Structure 1
Amino acid sequence: MSLLENAAKTPDGIVMNGFLLSPVVEQCAGCGRVRQFDEQEFCSSYPDPTSKWTGGRCNFATHVKTQTTAAAKVNPLKASKRAAKGR
Structure 2
Amino acid sequence: MSNERMLEGAVKTAEGVELKGMVLEAVVEQCDGCDRIREFEGEKFCTSYPFPAKKWVLGDCNFATHVARVTASGKKINPLKASKRAARGGK
What's the TM-score, normalizing by structure 1? 0.77
What residue is the counterpart of 2:35 in the other structure? 32
State the identity %.
49
* Number of residue equivalences: 72
What residue is the counterpart of 1:19 in the other structure? 22
Runs of 4+ in 1 over 6 A off after TM superposition: none
DSSP-derived class of the 2:18 partner: strand
What's the TM-score, normalizing by structure 2? 0.74
What residue is the counterpart of 1:79 in the other structure? none
Can you give the 5+ residue segments of structure 1 that lack an aligned partner in the other structure? 72-87
Distance in 1 separating the partners of 2:40 and 2:73: 42
Structure index of larger Rg? 1
Can you give the 5+ residue segments of structure 2 that lack an aligned partner in the other structure? 75-91
What residue is the counterpart of 2:48 in the other structure? 45
DSSP-derived class of the 2:30 partner: helix
